[in-house]
Amino acid sequence: MTSSKTLYEGKAKKIIKGPKKNTLIQIFKDDATAYNKKKHKIFKGKGVINNKISEHIMEFLKSKKIPTHFEKRLNDREQLIKKCQIIPIEFVVRNIVAGSIAKKLGLKEGMKLKKPLLEYYYKEDSLDDPMISRDHVETFGWANRSELKRIDGMSLKINSLLTKLFKKKNIILVDFKIEFGRLASNPKKIVLADEISPDSCRLWDIKSKQKLDKDVFRRNLGSLMGAYEEVASRLGIVH
Ligand code: UDP
């Protein structure tokens, strides 16, 4: 494992300096948190599985011409990534009602949406990541109109690609959260950043609707590692 000064430490990952200019190393931890850290637990090996699942998904998206920060997986827990300036917005795409939207709007979990719904949340833990509108994003300068237009397009494209990928594995992609950044080497270029894993997606078995994501932890539904291993194995990830 690389040992170097931590530049940033989040709930499930930390970032250290990379080997070359404009590179970083992203390290996947075993911590799981929910409800803005009110619930916290360590699942031995979660970071290793998420590193591999996220690698698999980033490689798949790259092969479909989605620009990403992902360079390569270095070992069980670490990925080499391109340095970017993260846009402080969580982009959530929903296909089916679940989680916060069910609660907020009094909707039944499982309701299929007529078309994918894109939401924006301002990344600020001290405010519990409030939901914001497109106008907020532009007004406060978090991203400009042209950037937002490109990000919206990429988010919907990612949704359609991942929906198909998971469907082939008998998994429904209910919703997910993604983040984008401006490349340090070329700030005009926006790339998909962060991770895509069962920590940041809702994934249901197509038949039984069994949850195969972090809701298992949020709602105490059984074995989180069992669920994540199931996703990895259906994606063909051997480890
Ligand atoms: N999500 C995430 N990080 C967050 C908030 C949400 O990865 O800080 C993901 C979550 O796992 C789900 C989707 O974004 O797949 C939508 O989450 P929701 O708004 O329903 O919030 P939740 O009730 O999961 O906190």
Average per-residue pLDDT for the chain: 97
- Position 36 pLDDT exceeds 90: no
Question: Same topology for domains 6-84 and 89-223, yes or no?
Answer: no
> What are the residues whose beta carbons fall under 8 Å from the beta carbon of 78, sequence distance 6 or more?
1, 2, 25, 26, 27, 28, 51
Q: What is residue 238's predicted lDDT score, i.e. its pLDDT?
A: 83
Token readout for 211 is 């949850």
Centre of ligand 1 from the C-alpha of residue 68, in Å: 21
109-167 confidence digits (pLDDT tens) = 999 999 999 999 999 999 999 999 999 999 999 999 999 999 999 999 999 999 999 99
Which residue's alpha carbon is nearest to atom 3 within ligand 1? 200
Q: Is 99 in the pocket of ligand 1 (CB under 6 A)?
A: yes
Q: Choose among 134, 90, 133, 92: nearest CA to 113.
A: 92
- Position 107 pLDDT exceeds 70: yes
Token readout for 46 is 């979660």
78-103 confidence digits (pLDDT tens) = 999 999 999 999 999 999 999 999 99
What residue has token string 């594995």?
A: 169
Q: Ligand 1: which of 175, 192, 201 to mutate, judged by most atoms within 8 Å of the beta carbon?
A: 175
Cα distances (angstroms) measured from residue 167 to each of 96, 131, 200: 14, 29, 18
Three-class DSSP category at 46: helix
Centre of ligand 1 from the C-alpha of residue 161, in Å: 20
- Position 2 pLDDT exceeds 90: no
Token readout for 12 is 């499930």
Per-domain boundaries in the chain: 6-84, 89-223
What does DSSP assign to residue 190? E
Which atom of ligand 1 is nearest to 218's Cα?
A: 24
CATH code: domain 89-223 is: 3.30.470.20
Q: Is 155 in the pocket of ligand 1 (CB under 6 A)?
A: no
Through-space distance between the first and last CA atoms of the chain, rounded to whole angstroms: 18
Centre of ligand 1 from the C-alpha of residue 66, in Å: 22
> What are the residues whose beta carbons fall under 8 Å from the beta carbon of 104, sequence distance 6 or more?
none
Q: Is 57 in the pocket of ligand 1 (CB under 6 A)?
A: no
219-230 confidence digits (pLDDT tens) = 999 999 999 999
Question: Does the domain spanning 6-84 belong to CATH 3.30.200.20?
Answer: yes
Centre of ligand 1 from the C-alpha of residue 185, in Å: 30
Residue 239's pLDDT band, with cuts at 50, 70 and 90, is confident
Q: Is 11 in the pocket of ligand 1 (CB under 6 A)?
A: no
Residue 4's pLDDT band, with cuts at 50, 70 and 90, is confident
